[in-house]
Structure 1
């Protein structure tokens, strides 16, 4: 994902054409410019669960919030890592969009530790339990919330659930 600067009036125009909470600027522009969506996003939204029926969006996440497992995590890093692990379990195909979430100078997710170490001096990468992904952990709690919110929105979680999860970090 690339960062671009646009004039304030263009930003307001793009934002005014939002159809639902969590819709990205890229999705809005694709719709307005009538450009086909990226293939992996379409697949992630329509992939059935392993049982053959469509997966309930956020079922694992909602169960995590109701259980004591998240509350038992002692630090923001531990809660962040636990949430990412559950998100991967909930929808591994859609979680692949994590690689699109980046900062100005750093990448946040990779499929190996070396890629994260190469993206900054003090990234402190950790493996996300039960997944093939790694994430940087040397960010403040606000940035961790932002990373989770961006990923959850890209994965199609409802805004109310995103807010609850982010407040739990």
Structure 2
């Protein structure tokens, strides 16, 4: 069996081209690339499994009602970060590279963030092993969300959409 990695956008496109229940990715690609679903090529020695590189994106997972249920900016901030972490489990550690001039924004523990600055008020990002400072103004939190989105591969436009969720 051969395995190929494709980005999430392409995977969603292929899945969106499904015409019947149970149609495999190979059947879909055969139909799209060869133009005729009745063409039956010789069976492959090994079937191909299509695996998306990114599990999903935040826009597939974010629930506006849950987001609006968060009464505080900090609550929404943590909710958005948690959703980004869920969408990008393997890549989320890239947030550790996001830093201010004199302080860390993300870390592996509250102590790590507290040692790197005063009045950081670190909070655990729900359902992760990452901590984030929360004692910054809303503008700084929006900048942190924008940088996080860019690190995770979102376009500038989508990063702004994520920022505006706050």
Shorter-chain TM-score category? 0.5 to 0.7
> How far apart in 1 are the matches of 2:157 and 2:68?
19
Structure 2: tracts of 5 or more residues without a match: 1-6, 9-48
Provide the rounded CA distance (Å) in 2 between the counterparts of 1:158 and 1:100: 18
Q: How many pairs align?
A: 121
Q: 5 Å matches for 1:51-130?
A: 53-55=51-53, 59-130=56-127
- What secondary structure, in the 3-state scheme, does the structure 1 residue paired with 2:69 have? coil
* Larger relative helix fraction: 1
Tell me if the contact between 2:107 and 2:131 (Cα under 8 Å) persists in the aligned partners. Answer: yes
- Unaligned 5+ runs, structure 1: 1-44
Q: Which residue of 1 aligns with 2:144?
A: 147
Distance in 2, matches of 1:102 and 1:145, equals: 14
- The structure with the greater share of residues assigned to strand is 2
CA displacement at 1:65 relative to structure 2: 4.3
Q: Once superposed, what is the RMSD of the aligned Cα atoms? A: 2.4
Structure 1 stretch 68-77 or stretch 123-132: which is displaced more?
Answer: 68-77
Indicate if the aligned counterparts of 1:64 and 1:70 stay in contact, CA closer than 8 A.
Answer: no
Using the TM superposition, give the Cα deviation of residue 66 of structure 1 relative to its aligned residue in structure 2, in angstroms: 5.0
Q: How far, CA to CA, are the matches of 2:148 and 2:70 in structure 1?
A: 21
Q: TM-score, normalised by structure 1?
A: 0.65
Partners of 1:66 and 1:74 in 2: CA distance? 15
